[in-house]
Amino acid sequence: MPLVLVIDDEPGVQESLRQLLKEECQVVTAGSAVEALLAVEKTPPDLILLDLVMPGRSGLDLLSDLSERGVPAPVIVLTATKTVATAVKAMKLGAADYVTKPFELDALRIKIRRLLEQGALEQEVVRLRDEVSQRDHLGAMVGRSAPMQELFRAIERVALSRTSVLIRGESGTGKELVARALHDLGPRSDGPFIAVNCAAIPETLLESELFGHERGAFTDAREKRIGRFEAADGGTLFLDEVGEIAPAMQGKLLRALQERVVERLGGTQPIHVDVRIVAATNRDLEASIQAGEFRSDLYYRINVVPLAIPPLRQRREDIPLLARHVLARITSEGGHGKLSLAPEAAELLQGYAWPGNVRELENAIERAAALSGREELQPADLPEAVVEGARMATLGEQVRAGRLGFDEAVARFESELLREALESSGWNQTQAAAQLGITRRQLKLKIDRYQLGGPDVNSSS
């Protein structure tokens, strides 16, 4: 069933619309703009019925908020006859249609059906277009998985506005790539893209870095320097690791964002800047607010539209695609023939958890390509931590699925570890025991337990 969000402060109207639509739609209600935004964030609706006259923020204000957040659901505004002019204004702000109170139920039902059918058709066209194009990248980002396709669509929607965006994601997921895509796909693509790693700049220098300084502002200020805000004028300012900014500096940053004005250190002249702010963090900012480490007003200023990047372990189907993308880049840079990935190696890559995400994957592939000396990378070319981690993960998955007992999984892992040590040492038991950090007697007992066959080689030869 399609989901319809009814936003009206009158309980009687809410109930009337619920009864009207209950046979055809799932109905969620909100009595204020705040409740409505929470409802939209929790579950995006397929259609919105919006009362223009409400206490607090008006329907027109909320309509602007919904537009800024890139909410795609069509909006039908509900208005009294005497405020039809306001309804027309709402149409100019993006509303799909309007009805006057008291509204004719059958006429409203027809409008709702028409818009829902139109929306379903548009979604189907988008889905078919995506299937035909088989898009596997956006900008420098790569991914065919459902989470990445959803992220790509969100980026394309949000890029067209100037609203602030907060990118959430673990280290190595590619937060700067998302920021660059937002810039390149938006109306500011001809302007500068300026990135600032807030965690890499000492607290004492960050203010000068962001706002600039005049000559003589401090001991080493031998000449005037413009800050990153000024450098980004007309474009995008990317504040990476924004959660690492010290509390004292957060207030100055908030003022710059609110007023779109900066002052250089040592200066008195306010400088107006026109920048779009895209911030990123791998921290739990909500927890930082509770701990008194991050200002809530700054959080709400930068978190107008949140975008979350899934970690690599949640989109394992993208791992072979990413690996081949890296190999293609290495090939194009020269120094190698055409590089490829053996199926067994791709399977191991998919089994590993990748705590360092895409950055760790790129490092592993580049290392393997540099050291292997062959054009098709094999499991033996991959870092040992990746191979062992993938095998352990595979065993763990089988245990959790009930296909393998715990004791059997431990025994299988131990026997594989023993065999690898023996093979790498030419079945020299003394050397194999040293590799494993156990005594030769312990090794011999385990060889007998697991019946590990091999060349009859002297233990010290």
pLDDT in tens, 365-423: 999 988 887 888 998 888 888 888 777 766 665 556 565 577 776 777 777 778 778 87
Least confident of 130-139, 306-315, 349-358: 130-139
Domain 141-308: assigned CATH number: 3.40.50.300
pLDDT in tens, 27-43: 999 999 999 999 998 88
pLDDT of residue 71: 85
* 3 state DSSP class of 80: strand
CATH topology of domain 316-450: Helicase, Ruva Protein; domain 3 (1.10.8)
- The four Cα atoms 337, 343, 345, 346 give a dihedral, to 10 degrees, of 100
Please count the other Cβ atoms lying within 10 Å of the Cβ belonging to residue 269.
Answer: 7
Phi-psi region of 164 (alpha: psi -120 to 50; beta: other; left: phi over 0): beta
Distance between CA atoms of 68 and 40, rounded to whole angstroms?
13
Note if the pTM is more than 0.75: no
What percent of the chain has a predicted confidence (pLDDT) above 90?
A: 40
Q: What per-residue string of b and e applies to 3-25 under the rule 16 or more CB within 10 Å gives b?
A: bbbbbbbeeebbebbeebbeeeb
pLDDT of residue 457: 46
Please count the other Cβ atoms lying within 10 Å of the Cβ belonging to residue 457.
Answer: 13
pLDDT in tens, 171-198: 999 999 999 999 999 989 999 999 999 9
CA separation (Å) from 210 to 33, 69, 124, 156, 264? Answer: 34, 27, 45, 28, 9
Distance between CA atoms of 77 and 99, rounded to whole angstroms?
6
Question: What is the DSSP secondary-structure string of 157-170?
Answer: HHHTS---EEEE--
Distance between CA atoms of 52 and 99, rounded to whole angstroms?
11
Tell me if domain 3-129 and domain 141-308 are identical in fold. Answer: yes
Which residues on adjacent β-strands are paired with residue 193? 236
The tokens describing 101, both together, are 């109170």
CA separation (Å) from 269 to 226, 264, 265, 275? Answer: 13, 8, 10, 19
CATH superfamily of 3-129: Response regulator (3.40.50.2300)
Residue 132 pLDDT greater than 70, yes or no: no
Averaged pLDDT, 74-94: 77
Boundaries of every domain in the chain: 3-129, 141-308, 316-450
End-to-end CA distance of the chain: 74
